[in-house]
Amino acid sequence: MRQAATLFLSLLLSTLLSAASWANAPVVSLEDLKPQPEHRRSTRLITHVIGNYHYRNVPLDDALSKKILDRYIEALDPARSYFTQADMNEFQQHETRVDDYLRSSSLNPLFDMFVRFRQRLGERVEYATKAVDGKFDFTVDESFDFDRKGAAWPKDTAELDELWRKRVKNDILSLKLAGKPLNEISTTLKKRYDGLVRRTAQLNSEDVFQTLMNAYTTAIDPHTSYFSPRTSENFKIRMSLSLEGIGAVLQSDNELTVVREVVTGGPADLSGKLHADDRIVGIGQDEKGAIVDVIGWRLDDVVDLIRGPKNSVVRLQVLPKGTALGGPTSTVAITRNTIQLDEQAAKGTVIDVKRGTGVAKIGVITLPTFYMDFEARSAGDENYRSTTRDVRKIIGELQAKHIEGLVIDLRANGGGSLSEATELTGLFIGPGPVVQVRDSQGRVQVERSTEPQVDYKGPLAVLVDRNSASASEIFAGAIQDYHRGMIIGEPTFGKGTVQNLVDLNRFDQTMNGKLGQLKATIAQFFRVSGSSTQYQGVVPDVGFPTVMDDDDHGERSLDNALPWASIDPARFTPVAYSVDRLDGVRKSHEKRISTDTAFQALLATERAVSDAQKQKALSLREDKRRTEHDKARAEQRTRENQIRVARGLPPLPADAVTPEIEEEDDEFRKPDEKDKALDVILSEAGNVLTDWIYADTADKRLVDNDRETKSGSKPGASVTVPPPRATEVH
């Protein structure tokens, strides 16, 4: 607990800083929120590409106009807590006109709606800021409806005030239950509300245009989207796993830009002058460029100033960690260089799986995404980064450690490069068809692996979950169709469509690179067996139990998703294997997890999360809420300790306090070594693969990658592949 004098000084400095920040932060005036020439040009190109080349032929007419308007309004006000019914009545005049606005590139009426949104948000925050200092009775039995999707729009300002009174009351109660001192709650919430206004006031016409265009594209299918120039740059960085900058992960904390992490081996790390928790308050270019005050700036604007060409210099004005606000700063000059973003790169580890009195060494390759540095490869760089190259190297390292089997961990892998998914499959099957692609004209092209030989011939399992999508499903589906390995885990996401990235700047050089990119759905994936991964996903050979409803997740939960379909199978030869052997592995798995306290605790945690997600309202009565809060935390601690004890770790004290994480920090949380040690799912995947390896049968052909079937078919012969165990969804 801080001393009163220290608290007052800190709050005073924070208030002064906030007031000063608004004078320097690049706030966008309402008058500047209007379509720019590049937006009109982009609109013409986007409507042309979608109208002529999209996989799904959806006419731009009055019916689509209504859908676009609904999605645009939902993007602005998803909780229906800013606009009133009167606003909605006014907006309805555009219901059948949005298609006309898009065809003529006359977007002013839709930009005016965003201006109205910003005005309404300012009014709501002004109300909330005043309400924070009011008196609230936490003994009244009332509730806060936080999930208002589909609810009636507030009929007037009075009804909005009531919604926001409950929202403020809930915010105060949440901080009380989290242990926040009463004398800090008001200041914390005012800063939070002020930040909401500040961030919204920094949204520019480019942001509005991107929101509007994505309302249009997602009204056709969920995976077609528009990338603004800034978003396009970030997408390229994610695909290549590299950028040119200083090597620091930044976070916005109220008005300040905080160094969350310094990337090991990057320029900032090698300089020794920038550290985690330092705060960047100014940025200058080159050796003598003026320092620009960036207090109060939106994070991506700060990042834009810090990024730059390799070998150029950026100067950072830094408020060091631990220095009070308003204290002395230092200026740090750093030479930019290429940064490798290893967080998303493939990684290899070895886990020990108990087997009788001994252990089996199982290799694990964790693959968060399918990446490829296309620019480096096109430039002739022999050391360009790619998934297949990295995995081939890791396989060699793991085999040198004498692993008995290999797990490819694709959990939460949302996809990436199609070519990399195809070539990676080749490391395990050699040359051959991997996936079929059907375009909007019905033409089918077979994507084949060109790998001349198999890099790994041993026992293989692919671990997937409900967030494994797109390229992950191509890889997992091919491994399953070839019977090259077992698929373990949950049914996958079900994204079986192909997107092509169209650089709009190629069509108009006069716009100087301001047009952005369109990611448009142009085709659909089909497995070599002929079944689509779309909608249904890949059904595991050994399914792990889950309490989540399939219809609430994945492609099945998305509006305008394409249905499941099938085509003729490709010509390929799967590995022969014993179905009885696989049945035995399933039975062993089911028996083991039924008595595994760690696995059952994990299911109980998932059930609690599912129940919480279904909740649409919170009680505002403190005693009831506190009871629910304490019960939930106690139950969660019990489940945590069940997992810890089962994994040989000491239990946490029952009364230990779990630190509260600020909502803006969630995306920066990273698993530590303790989290990895408690990975119950990976542990069971190792058990399942080990069961396969030591199954009491002479049929070892899945292990040694024998591609000749029992019936005597030779490679290249057409085969009929058994369908997945689950019922297909059409």
**Is 563's pLDDT higher than 80?**
yes
Report yes or no: 137 and 173 within 8 Å, Cβ to Cβ. no
Q: Per the residue annotation, which of 449, 470, 472, 529 is the catalytic one?
A: 470
Q: What is the pLDDT at residue 94?
A: 97
Pick the closest to residue 406 from 424, 422, 382, 431 (CA basis): 424
Q: What is the pLDDT at residue 85?
A: 97
Q: What is the pLDDT at residue 656?
A: 52
Q: What is the pLDDT at residue 129?
A: 96
Pick the closest to residue 19 from 229, 198, 272 (CA basis): 198
Return the top range by mean pLDDT from 16-25, 45-54, 340-349: 45-54
If you search the block for the tokens 């494994």, which residue do you land on? 468
The percent of residues above 70 in pLDDT, for the chain, comes to 86
Active-site residue flag, 470: yes
Per-residue pLDDT band for 665 (boundaries 50, 70, 90) equals: very low
444 compared with 325, residue with greater pLDDT: 444
**Is 714's pLDDT higher than 50?**
no
Q: From residue 685, how far is each of 397, 462, 592, 599 by CA, in Å? A: 21, 9, 12, 12
Q: Rounded to the nearest 5°, which phi and psi values hold at 190? A: -65, -40
Q: Rounded to the nearest 5°, which phi and psi values hold at 277? A: 80, 0
Return the top range by mean pLDDT from 376-385, 386-395, 593-602: 386-395
Express each pLDDT in 131-176 by its tens digit.
999 999 999 999 999 889 889 999 999 999 999 999 999 999 999 9
Q: What is the pLDDT at residue 4?
A: 33
Q: What is the pLDDT at residue 330?
A: 87
324 compared with 523, residue with greater pLDDT: 523
Q: What is the pLDDT at residue 265?
A: 77
Q: Which string of DSSP letters, residue by residue, matches 501-530?
A: EEEGGGG-GGGTT-S-EEEEEEEEEEETTS
CA torsion sign, 42 to 44 to 50 to 52? negative
Mean pLDDT on 29-34: 93
Mean pLDDT on 479-504: 94
**Is 296's pLDDT higher than 80?**
no
Domains and CATH numbers, the chain: 33-220 (no CATH), 231-340 (2.30.42.10), 342-576 (3.90.226.10)
> Residue 462: what residue type?
V
- HEC-encoded secondary structure of 202-244: CCCHHHHHHHHHHHHHHCCCCCCEEECHHHHHHHHHHHHCEEE
Q: What angle do CA 450, 454, 460 make, to 5 degrees?
A: 120
Q: What is the pLDDT at residue 576?
A: 74
Q: What is the pLDDT at residue 541?
A: 95
> Residue 255: what residue type?
E
Report yes or no: 43 and 105 within 8 Å, Cβ to Cβ. yes
Mean pLDDT on 424-441: 95
Q: Rounded to the nearest 5°, which phi and psi values hold at 557? A: -95, -5
Q: Per the residue annotation, which of 495, 531, 541, 691 is the catalytic one?
A: 495
Instruction: In whole angstroms, give the CA distance from residue 617 to residue 611.
Output: 12
199 compared with 669, residue with greater pLDDT: 199
Q: Rounded to the nearest 5°, which phi and psi values hold at 100? A: -70, -40
The percent of residues above 90 in pLDDT, for the chain, comes to 54
Express each pLDDT in 83-137 by its tens digit.
999 999 999 999 999 999 999 999 999 999 999 999 999 999 999 999 999 999 9
Mean pLDDT on 662-668: 33
Per-residue pLDDT band for 241 (boundaries 50, 70, 90) equals: low
Q: What is the pLDDT at residue 24?
A: 57
Q: Rounded to the nearest 5°, which phi and psi values hold at 242? A: -150, 155
Q: Rounded to the nearest 5°, which phi and psi values hold at 41? A: -65, -45
**Is 705's pLDDT higher than 70?**
no
Instruction: In whole angstroms, give the CA distance from residue 273 to residue 302.
Output: 19
**Is 585's pLDDT higher than 50?**
yes
Active-site residue flag, 300: no
Mean pLDDT on 259-271: 83
Report yes or no: 407 and 490 within 8 Å, Cβ to Cβ. no
Active-site residue flag, 236: no
Tokens of 481: 């169709």
What's the residue count for the chain?
730
Pick the closest to residue 259 from 346, 321, 167, 174 (CA basis): 321
What predicted TM-score, i.e. pTM, was given to this entire model?
0.79
Grouping H, G, I as helix, E, B as strand and the rest as coil, residue 488 is strand
Per-residue pLDDT band for 669 (boundaries 50, 70, 90) equals: very low
Q: What is the pLDDT at residue 297?
A: 82
Q: From residue 42, how far is each of 205, 397, 444 by CA, in Å? A: 13, 48, 31
> Residue 594: what residue type?
S
Which residue stretches of 435-511 are H helix? 471-481
Report yes or no: 361 and 406 within 8 Å, Cβ to Cβ. no
Q: What is the pLDDT at residue 673?
A: 41
Tokens of 181: 């001192």
Q: What is the pLDDT at residue 484?
A: 94
**Is 73's pLDDT higher than 90?**
yes
Give, rounded to a whole angstrom, the gap between the first and last alpha carbons of the chain.
59
624 compared with 715, residue with greater pLDDT: 624
Mean pLDDT on 316-342: 81
**What is the average pLDDT score of the chain?**
84
Q: What is the pLDDT at residue 729?
A: 26
Q: What is the pLDDT at residue 625?
A: 92
Mean pLDDT on 374-397: 88
Q: Per the residue annotation, which of 221, 481, 679, 691 is the catalytic one?
A: 481
Mean pLDDT on 199-217: 95
Instruction: In whole angstroms, give the CA distance from residue 291 to residue 176.
Output: 41
Mean pLDDT on 423-443: 95
